[in-house]
Amino acid sequence: MTLFSKSSIKITALGIMLIIISVGLLSFSESRDFKLVKNLEVFSNLFRELNYYYVDSPDPEKLIQTGINAMLKTLDPYTVYISEEDLDDFKFTTTGHYGGVGSLIRKTKDYVLITDVYKGFPADISGLKSGDLIMSVDGISIKGKSSSEVSGLLKGLPGSIVEISVSRYGSEEPVSFTLERKEINIPNVPYYGLVGEGVGYIRLSNFRTGSGKEVRKALSDLKNNYGAEAIILDLRGNPGGLLIEAVGVSNLFVPRGEEIVSTRGKIEEYYHNYQAPNQPVAEKIPLAVLVDRGSASAAEIVAGSLQDLDRGIIVGGRTYGKGLVQTTRPLGYNNQLKVTTAKYYIPSGRCIQAVDYSNRNEDGSVGHIPDSLISEFKTRNGRIVYDGGGILPDVEVVPKDAGLITINLYAQDVFFDYSTKFASENPEILPASDFEFSEKDFLAFCDFVVEKDFHYEIRSNAAYESLIKAAKKDNLYENNQEAFLHLKTLLKHDLSACLQSHKEEIIQFLTSEIAGRYYYQAGGIESSLKWDDDIEAAKNVLLNKDKYLSILNPEHADKVLARSN
């Protein structure tokens, strides 16, 4: 007699399989939890033994923080520990707000230098200038202190008073200032204006709180008061910021309800679809977005979503390649963990994150990506786009490499120091858009470079030294010394000739730096636009309707081709 039917046998087998799977999952969970508890106990025991038996007296806080940082380094580069001491700086990166005097500083030798002052804030109002060397703050000598230590002394509650003493070019005695600290709110849009007839330009430097509102205001002003009929949105060098602000900026150009970005993580709460919440300000206006390898995160959301929706052309170079979303989690005692909780995906379905962290340039941006790690996607109009890391531009502009002498003049602060001298000797200059660095000015700069005893190592000299070492190892140097000495003479560079051969790019750097001394950050940006190859490339497309539409829509390109035939 048969005890079980075929169907009951199937059900019984299915039940057994479910039990096996459940037990397996439970075992996996228990195994994982056990490993976690075991290793936490080992870590705790290790810390206790070190603290008790180590021959010296280690700093417990430093030990723990070193352990935390080493642990996080095994993950992605954006999951980081934020200590209580660093919390104010972290808040500034997301809000742009802090209590202080409104200046940028950096370390130079034993002291700290003011490199920029923000218009309308205490440092500017009191008369502090770029190039001032801070000697003391509230009577405390700055000598030997780091820029972060000096920044801490300058910051404080709005309404509080701070005394600053500086050494100024052209003044033999220190100059003292009394400032009342204020709430500092650094603008996300440092400059906007026209870069050609009917072509508006907006520089967006960060995606901190309020960036969407600032771009909206600039966009409305350009359309209504400047007569802009096309827009260039500059996201070059923009490191990103708040995801919600990226949605807000994108929404200015796309209809309400349009999906801009989605996030997906391990936990359900980090699954989100972000749609444009408002009516756009400029839904139809021709648009070009400028990007480069410094455009990251939120900047890539904006550029990528507008590309996927065929809403505007992307001009410049490949972007950074950061498609990860971070969330801050409290750790107690005002410490925070900024942890990667999700990846973001733009409308075509692609993720911008570079798959392989090892394929990175020196600045961290995405480098070479193997074809095996790249997949094709399509924009709304059917154009092919790719994932694998960063946004590829529709119109690529290969950046010009600055000459070695120009790089060294910048790195050794020669441009900065000369601009300080120039500003002290010239009370005023023409407006930033009209200011030109004359031939007479350039010759004065060349004299300044010689007076500073400026030196730099050219690549051929380094190669020559390597050649000498190799020749000595091969026993070829002794019998060919005259030839080597002759080669050294040929390789000797003439500083004056090098300055002249790189005159154009040197003048560009100096013009922008000097204009910034008189007209703040906006002036420095405005004066540099006349030499900007990315802007020229964007204008060439925006002002040619057929070319613009042909890039965004393959069908339009076919019609233009048929018409031309």
Q: Model confidence over 310-332: pLDDT tens digits?
A: 999 999 999 999 988 888 899 88
DSSP run (H or E) holding 446: helix 439-451
Q: 10 Å Cβ neighbour count for 94? A: 15
The answer on pLDDT for 460 being more than 50 is: yes
pLDDT score at 490: 63
Confidence of residue 477 (pLDDT cuts 50, 70, 90): confident
Q: What is the pLDDT of residue 464?
A: 72
Averaged pLDDT, 517-542: 97
Let me know: does 102 contact 129? Beta carbons within 8 Å.
no
- Look up 387 and say whether it is catalytic: no
How high is the pLDDT of residue 245?
97
Active site residue 297: yes
**Is 322 one of the annotated active-site residues of the chain?**
yes
Confidence of residue 83 (pLDDT cuts 50, 70, 90): confident
Closest by Cα among 89, 107, 84 to 152: 89
Asked if residue 24 has pLDDT above 80, the reply is no
Q: What is the mean pLDDT of residues 481-501?
A: 78
Tell me the mean pLDDT in the region 405-410.
94
**pLDDT value at position 29?**
52
Considering only residues 219 and 29, tell me which one the structure prediction assigns the higher pLDDT: 219
| Residue 422 confidence (pLDDT) above 90 | yes
What percentage of the chain reaches a pLDDT higher than 70? 89
Find the catalytic residue in 292, 308, 394, 532: 308
What's the mean pLDDT in 109-123?
Answer: 95
Of the listed 165, 205, 297, 305, which one is catalytic? 297
The answer to which of 317-326, 417-426, 556-565 has the lowest mean pLDDT is 556-565
Banded model confidence at residue 131, pLDDT cuts 50, 70, 90: very high
The one catalytic residue in 295, 322, 394, 539 is: 322
pLDDT value at 457 more than 90:
no
How far apart CA 40 and CA 45 sit, in angstroms, is: 9
Contact 279, 228 (CB under 8 A): no
pLDDT surpasses 80 at 365:
no
**How many CA atoms lie less than 13 Å away from 249 in the CB half-sphere?**
37
The mean pLDDT value for 406-416 works out to: 95
Predicted pLDDT of residue 8: 40
Alpha-carbon distance values, 140 to 112, 114, 117, 153, 235 (Å): 13, 17, 22, 9, 40
Contact 199, 226 (CB under 8 A): no
Alpha-carbon distance of 110 to 376, in angstroms, equals 53
State mean pLDDT over 401-424: 95
Worst-scoring range by mean pLDDT, 295-299, 351-355, 551-555?
351-355
Helix runs in 54-97, H state only: 60-72, 87-95
Full-model pTM: 0.84
pLDDT of residue 13: 46
159-180: average pLDDT: 96
Share of the chain above pLDDT 90, in %: 63
Q: How far apart are CA 311 and CA 287, in angstroms?
A: 7
Looking at residue 480, its pLDDT comes to 84
Confidence bin at 143 (pLDDT 50/70/90): very high
